[in-house]
Amino acid sequence: MMMERTVTGRFSVEFVVANNRDVVNIGVGVRVLERVKHVVLAGVVDSGAARLVLPQRVADELELRVEGQTRVRYADHRREDRPLVSNVWLELLGRHGVFSAVIEPERDDALIGAIVLEELDLLVDCATQSLYPREPDAIVTEIE
């Protein structure tokens, strides 16, 4: 996936999302991106944010089901309730997982928070504004 630098010191990555309900219906061994409706979009990597945030247009296009509401706090300290969708299949740097996402009605790009980064075992290098897997061949789960 292509990475792009921005002037603000944050960086954006390209990734893919689909409705996991569609992914489950195609069966094992079938390539998801060849058989399932999906959206390729840019997302700002923000390890200080917790959740995945998607624009309303993406949720509408993929017919993601609203499962409830969540309270969000913005950088200017405003608080709002926003829809929360589930079953978002996400692929980033060749790794994929299923996540919930906050839906932002006016947002154009996505926000990739710590939950996605942790689950996919991806590390953020702030100095080079890059994202990379901790181990290239596998997602590592640490157990004590």
- DSSP E strands in the chain: the ranges are 3-5, 11-19, 38-45, 52-55, 66-73, 79-92, 95-104, 110-112, 122-125, 130-133
pLDDT classification of 6: cutoffs 50, 70, 90: very low
Task: Return the CATH number at 112.
Answer: 2.40.70.10
Strands 11-19 and 38-45: antiparallel
Q: Taking the model in full, what pTM does it have?
A: 0.88
Q: How many domains does the chain have?
A: 1
Residue 42: inside a domain:
yes
**Across residues 108-131, what is the average pLDDT?**
93
80: domain range? Answer: 3-133
Give the whole-angstrom CA distance, residue 43 versus residue 3.
10
Residue 144: inside a domain:
no
Residue 95: inside a domain:
yes
pLDDT, position 86: 96
Residue 140: inside a domain:
no
Residue 138: inside a domain:
no
Query: What is the tens place of the pLDDT at every residue in 53-85?
Result: 999 999 999 999 999 999 999 889 999 999 999
pLDDT, position 7: 39
